[in-house]
Amino acid sequence: MLVATSVALSGQPPQFSNAVRNFITIDASVVALTNVRVIDGTGAPPRERQTIVLRDGLIADIGDAARVKAPDGATVVDLTGKSVIPGLVMVHEHLYYPTGPGVYGQLGESFARLYLAGGVTTMRTGGNTNGVMDINLKQQIDAGQRAGPTIDATAPYLNGPNTQLQMHALKDADDARRQVAYWAEMGATSFKAYMQITRAELGAAIEEAHKRSLKVTGHLCSVTYAAAADLGIDNLEHGFMASTDFVADKQPDVCPGQAVGQRTIDALDENGAPFKALVKKLIDKHVALTSTMTVFETFAPGRPTSPGLDVLLPELKQQFEQAHARAGQNQQSIYKTLLPKGMALERAFAKAGGMLIAGTDPTGSGGVIPGYSNQREIELLVEAGFTPLEAISIGTLNGAKYLGRDARIGTIAAGKQADLVVVNGDPSKTVADVRNVETVFKRGVGFDPAKLIASVSGRVGLW
Ligand SMILES: [Zn+2]
């Protein structure tokens, strides 16, 4: 029998199971991090030689070493030469992975550990293909029974007729309402619409979710971004890569094919009036946009291979490497130009005042590895033209704002939850230093990424 749990409102972490304790290296009621460079997630310049006092899961104090001293009895960790950034808050994560043709393995156990190891302390899953796993995992992590980030758990996808084996097909708008009501009751805290949904179903789902103060995002195709914004959607996935707004003969409620939409995006001028009008619409309607460049990078020729592949089962690693080699040889691939175009469009959206948030989407051909890819997404935001400080802010504060939790998480400040990532180096100068994670503090408890990774290495794909 599982005990229902809820997140305690204090900063106090839960009692951890012995299995989780294996991954913990720092667990004291008072911890002082000294001589550390603080990148606080707001976009402000780094502050050198700071002391951060963590008490009962919260940041009790932070300031110059001259002012803030380690309290008596505190566990002191000297972080000279190292930086802290806020725990990552990423919003297009999944607990499943493409193991075979049209088949998704449910890898919640290993993925939750990898996400935490990569510095993700809060994540939203962006659609589930498993029913209750996202919800159960969220509750067990909150209760300290498993290691992982705090999860905003999505319900199974809301989609129209489709050929996926692990996806329900909505019958009509009433069915959409029933699904939202049922999964909200089951504990889902957000919803994801998918490529074949109709406007009527999407509108009904949004209305039903909003009644419960829950949000709806979408990887759309059958419904344009502009139409979804008018229906009140909160978030759109994959930047502009899933927009069919510019398909000339687009039929209402019909997906013309993702590739057809992407050809129009590839040809879109980020300074042109049609794109600017869509951006204005999304901003006016407060629709956030999720960047998931990590998954598109795996399709593009001439790109480096993905970080973290060694955690995969050898068969799955080989499967991705073959797919990546094929992608690399395809010089006709649209992604050669679409990847940089997608970046330029996201940058233009953010520059115009749009809310850009970040995620990774561990699907595609299997090269998006949780944790590793969250770090990669920060690097790709820098490639898109953001400064490292801006990219870190998108991956932390913006996600927290979208989830409505920025009063507690997403930045490093006194009174906030002690969700911090210690990295060796200075990612404000060399963004790749976000890969050098040494400790991940979640609610003041320090987890060892190396132990988390070692616990799944070579077996990701089984569980
Ligand atoms: Zn996805």
Task: Compute, in angstroms, the gap from residue 33 CA to the centroid of ligand 1.
Answer: 36
Can you give the pLDDT at residue 12?
A: 80
Distance between Cα 73 and ligand 1 center (Å): 46
Tell me the CA–centroid distance for residue 362 and ligand 1, in Å: 7
Ligand 1 centroid – CA 291 distance (Å): 11
List all residues 6 or more positions away from 276 whose beta carbon is below 8 Å from its beta carbon.
352
What separation in Å is there between the alpha carbon of 359 and the centre of ligand 1?
A: 9
Q: Encode 293-311: b = buried (16+ Cβ within 10 Å), e = exposed.
A: bbbbbbbbbebeebbbbeb
CB atoms inside a 10 Å sphere around CB 163: 8
Beta strand 190-193 with 420-424 is: unpaired
What is the 16 CA–ligand 1 centroid distance (Å)? 30
37 alpha carbon – ligand 1 mean position (Å): 34
Residues 6+ apart with CB under 8 A from 347: 270, 384, 385, 386
296 alpha carbon – ligand 1 mean position (Å):
11
Given the structure tokens 């999944």, which residue do they identify? 94
Ligand 1 centroid – CA 17 distance (Å): 31
Contact partners, residue 178, CB within 8 Å, separation at least 6: none
Q: How far is the CA of 94 from the centre of ligand 1 (A)?
A: 7
For residue 398, the CA-to-ligand 1 centroid distance in Å is 19
Q: How far is the CA of 87 from the centre of ligand 1 (A)?
A: 21
Global confidence as pTM: 0.97
Residue 92 Cα to ligand 1 midpoint, Å, equals: 6
Q: What is the pLDDT of residues 344-370, one digit of tens each?
A: 999 999 999 999 999 999 999 999 999
- Taking the chain, what is the end-to-end CA distance rounded to the nearest angstrom? 21
How many A from CA of 194 to the centre of ligand 1?
Answer: 9
**CA 125 to ligand 1 centroid distance, Å:** 8
**Ligand 1: centre distance to CA 363 (Å):** 7
**pLDDT lower than 50: segments of the chain:** 1-9
pLDDT at residue 427, rounded to an integer: 98
CA of 240 to the centre of ligand 1 (A): 14
CA 361 to ligand 1 centroid distance, Å: 5
Asked if 106 contacts 95 with a C-beta cutoff of 8 angstroms, the reply is yes
pLDDT at position 10 is: 58
* Per-residue pLDDT reduced to its tens digit, 67-82: 999 999 999 999 999 9
Distance 233 CA to ligand 1 centre (A): 17
Q: Do the Cβ atoms of 392 and 89 come closer than 8 Å?
A: no
CA–centroid distance, residue 405 to ligand 1 (Å): 22
CA–centroid distance, residue 438 to ligand 1 (Å): 28
The whole-number pLDDT of residue 291 equals 98
C-alpha 126 – ligand 1 centre gap (Å): 5
Question: Could you give the CA distance from residue 99 to residue 112 in angstroms, rounded to a whole number?
Answer: 17
Helices 108-117 and 133-142, packing angle to 10 deg: 50
In angstroms, rounded to a whole number, what is the distance separating the alpha carbons of residues 291 and 377?
8
Question: From ligand 1's centre to the CA of 334, what distance in Å?
Answer: 20
C-alpha 9 – ligand 1 centre gap (Å): 30
Query: Which residue, 187, 242, 239, is CA-closest to 214?
Result: 187
* 184 CA → ligand 1 middle, Å: 20
Instruction: Please give the C-alpha separations between residue 379 and each of 294, 375, 382, 388, 442, in angstroms, as whole numbers.
Output: 10, 7, 5, 8, 23
Residues with Cβ within 8 Å of 56's Cβ and at least 6 positions away in sequence, in order, are 10, 11, 12, 29, 444
Q: For residue 402, how far is its CA from the centre of ligand 1 (angstroms)? A: 17
In this prediction, residue 5 carries a pLDDT of 43
